[in-house]
Amino acid sequence: MAEASGLFSATLTPCFNSLNKTIPFSHFQSHSHLIIFRKRPIHCSLSTSDTAKSTATQTVPWGCDIDSLENASALQKWLSESGLPPQKMAIQRVEVGERGLVASKNIRKGEKLLFVPPSLVITADSEWSCAEAGKVLKQNSVPDWPLLATYLISEASQMKSSRWRNYISALPRQPYSLLYWTRAELDRYLEASQIRERAIERITDVIGTYDDLRLRIFSNYPHLFPEEVFNIETFKWSFGILFSRLVRLPSMDGRVALVPWADMMNHSCEVDTFLDYDKPSKGVVFTTDRPYEPGEQVYISYGKKSNGELLLSYGFVPKEGTNPSDSVELSLSLEKSDKCYKEKLEALRKYELSTSQCFPIQITGWPVELMAYAYLAVSPPSMSRQFKEMSAVASNKNTTKKDLRYPEIEEQALQFILDACESSLSKYNKFLQSSGSMDLDVTSPKQLNRRLFLKQLAVDLCTSERRILFRTQYILRRRLRDIRSGELRALRLFDGLRKLFN
């Protein structure tokens, strides 16, 4: 599974997760990506409504179990026969990731591996088995993400005639993805994390994208896009595949692509290497950043993502403390009782911000955008001239002044952040305390296993995010203590001088 670094919809906008500058904690410590239709209909059984009763989903009829080696071996054989050069890796069952690429020979640090030719890479320009279907989508200017999602379903629905049948047969029948969580499960297991809102938005966007295609295109060409094949269930499958496997290749003008074989590689937070197109060898490669011995799993990076983002797209959470890019999103909001609420709201809207905004906090600190938002939230009417400047910095759109500081309201701003942090911590504590007593009584062993799996993912995520909040709370309290003790010393000095002159 490789980095899903693109977005299929302009409405898929996450909370702040790519801010430029972070205020390190050390700052406070030192003052701190012809159709043959199946006769069996595919019915959608996944609901995102609050009344969803089913916790298991109807799986698509293609693909395989997540740990199938038989399908993977058939894929490797087909790829080799189709132009994939001899490899120093082989697909095996692995402890982390179900399946992965394992070194079969010694691999040196700095060595280029894979060399997957463009003819074995799926892009928006790939040839359709049903050329008419592809032509219709392109005539309607369908963007790359929904185009590729529809392409996967189209090719999968006619496996015998598709050149990608071996690849599709090796894809998981149900990808690890929050797209397969019901609304009730999201509310239950991710109630404390902001990733819940991101997951709901993503599911809503996938459903919205499908509905748009169905109304504008599919319903007008039912002979090309029958609903028993092109439905919300199959779209959740295809988008699940895209989120977990699509890569953006910088050296191919940033084109997004599915790269069979390469997408069997798993992620490690300790690895910095990634996939790209290598012009001299004319293939998709990656360069190792460490040596591997035979039998060792070979890793790539899916990108510098937080544990929540990895769960959102890839369906796993790294072990606590192993992800240096981990962060937790903290929500800050303006108070409607603020005397300058309307003026501050106007300033925020000018920079496309809202009265409630999320910012990422890492174990090492938080972005200057968060501090700017906090300054705005606590600033008095006398600082109204600075509202625009604060909002500009908070939006990350200020090109002249990235950092700002207002000593006269720093204490109030830090206290404002601490209050939000402690409010968020109370939700995590409540969830983790109640997670041991959650009712998991179900009639089907498969449902029980699934719920236990989801619960464990949620516990792992919340534990890692709470750890960052605890650290933030500690730093904020210490900084506030230093400020207040300094003010007390200054007051005592002033009183002493006043008494002296009296």
pLDDT tens, position by position, 459-473:
999 999 999 999 999
Structural domain count, the chain: 2
Residues 105 and 221 in one domain: yes
Report the range of poorest mean pLDDT among 104-113, 147-156, 315-324, 395-404: 395-404
- State residue 330's pLDDT score: 97
- State residue 20's pLDDT score: 43
Residues 270 and 368 in one domain: no
309 in a structural domain: no
- State residue 174's pLDDT score: 84
What 3 state SS string does 70-125 have?
Answer: HHHHHHHHHHHHCCCCCCCEEEEEECCCEEEEEECCCECCCCEEEEECHHHCECCC
Report the range of poorest mean pLDDT among 70-79, 82-91, 446-455: 446-455
User: Would the annotation count 396 as a binding residue?
Assistant: no
Q: What contacts 24+ positions apart, CB below 8 Å, involve 88-93?
A: 88/113, 89/113, 89/298, 91/264, 93/67, 93/69
Q: Token pair of 86, please?
A: 């001899």
Q: Is the dihedral of CA 238, 239, 240, 244 positive or negative?
A: positive
User: Would the annotation count 263 as a binding residue?
Assistant: yes
**Cα(131)–Cα(138) distance, integer angstroms:** 11
400 in a structural domain: yes
Mean pLDDT of 492-499: 52
98 in a structural domain: yes
Mean pLDDT of 363-378: 95
Question: Does the pLDDT at position 31 exceed 80?
Answer: no
Question: Does the pLDDT at position 171 exceed 90?
Answer: yes
- State residue 411's pLDDT score: 95
21 in a structural domain: no
- State residue 253's pLDDT score: 86
Residue with tokens 């516990």: 459
Q: CATH number, domain at 265?
A: 3.90.1410.10
To 10 degrees, what angle do helices 445-501 and 307-314 make? 160
455 in a structural domain: yes
User: Would the annotation count 245 as a binding residue?
Assistant: yes
- State residue 490's pLDDT score: 56
Contact in structure between 15 and 358 (CB atoms under 8 Å): yes
Residues 156 and 233 in one domain: yes
- State residue 35's pLDDT score: 28
- State residue 55's pLDDT score: 36
Q: Token pair of 253, please?
A: 């003008």
Question: Does the pLDDT at position 400 exceed 70?
Answer: no
- State residue 98's pLDDT score: 82
Report the range of poorest mean pLDDT among 268-277, 408-417, 479-488: 479-488
Residues 338 and 212 in one domain: no
Q: Which helix (H) or strand (E) holds 361?
A: strand 356-362
- State residue 212's pLDDT score: 97
Question: Does the pLDDT at position 396 exceed 80?
Answer: yes
Report the range of poorest mean pLDDT among 13-27, 99-113, 143-157: 13-27
User: Would the annotation count 314 as a binding residue?
Assistant: yes
- State residue 97's pLDDT score: 64
- State residue 446's pLDDT score: 60
Mean pLDDT value across the chain: 85
Report the range of poorest mean pLDDT among 295-309, 313-327, 400-414: 400-414
Give the burial class of 216: count Cβ atoms within 10 A of its Cβ; 0-12 exposed, 13-18 middle, 19 or more buried.
Answer: exposed
Residues 413 and 455 in one domain: yes
- State residue 66's pLDDT score: 83
User: Would the annotation count 221 as a binding residue?
Assistant: no
Q: CATH number, domain at 439?
A: 3.90.1420.10
Contacts with 7 (C-beta within 8 Å, 6 or more apart), sequence order: 145
Residues 224 and 106 in one domain: yes
Residues 362 and 247 in one domain: no
Residues 285 and 361 in one domain: no
Domain range enclosing 378 = 327-484
| Residues comprising the chain, all counted | 502
Residue with tokens 């409630």: 356
46 in a structural domain: no
Give the burial class of 70: count Cβ atoms within 10 A of its Cβ; 0-12 exposed, 13-18 middle, 19 or more buried.
Answer: exposed
Contact in structure between 177 and 245 (CB atoms under 8 Å): no
Question: Does the pLDDT at position 67 exceed 60?
Answer: yes
Contacts with 408 (C-beta within 8 Å, 6 or more apart), sequence order: none
134 in a structural domain: yes
Last residue of a domain, one of 265, 283, 300: 300
Question: Does the pLDDT at position 266 exceed 90?
Answer: yes
Is 185 in a helix, a strand, or coil? Answer: helix
Query: What is the layout of strands, in order, in the sheet containing 276-278?
Result: 112-116, 283-287, 276-278
pLDDT tens figures, 475-492: 999 999 999 887 655 555
Q: Token pair of 17, please?
A: 């997760």
Question: Does the pLDDT at position 140 exceed 60?
Answer: yes
Query: Global pTM?
Result: 0.83
Question: Does the pLDDT at position 108 exceed 90?
Answer: yes
Comparison of pLDDT for 11 and 30, the residue scoring more: 30
Instruction: Name the pairing type of β-strands 356-362 and 327-333.
Output: antiparallel
Q: If pLDDT is split at 50, 70 and 90, which confidence band does 114 have?
A: very high
- State residue 38's pLDDT score: 30
312 in a structural domain: no
- State residue 337's pLDDT score: 95
Q: How distant, in Å, are the alpha carbons of 196, 364, 368, 425, 473 from that of 478? A: 31, 15, 19, 17, 9
Residues 218 and 349 in one domain: no
User: Would the annotation count 210 as a binding residue?
Assistant: no
User: Would the annotation count 266 as a binding residue?
Assistant: yes
Residues 287 and 401 in one domain: no
Q: If pLDDT is split at 50, 70 and 90, which confidence band does 36 have?
A: very low
Question: Does the pLDDT at position 16 exceed 50?
Answer: no
Question: Does the pLDDT at position 46 exceed 50?
Answer: no
Report the range of poorest mean pLDDT among 304-318, 395-409, 451-465, 467-481: 395-409
Mean pLDDT of 30-41: 32
Residues 76 and 217 in one domain: yes
Residues 134 and 78 in one domain: yes
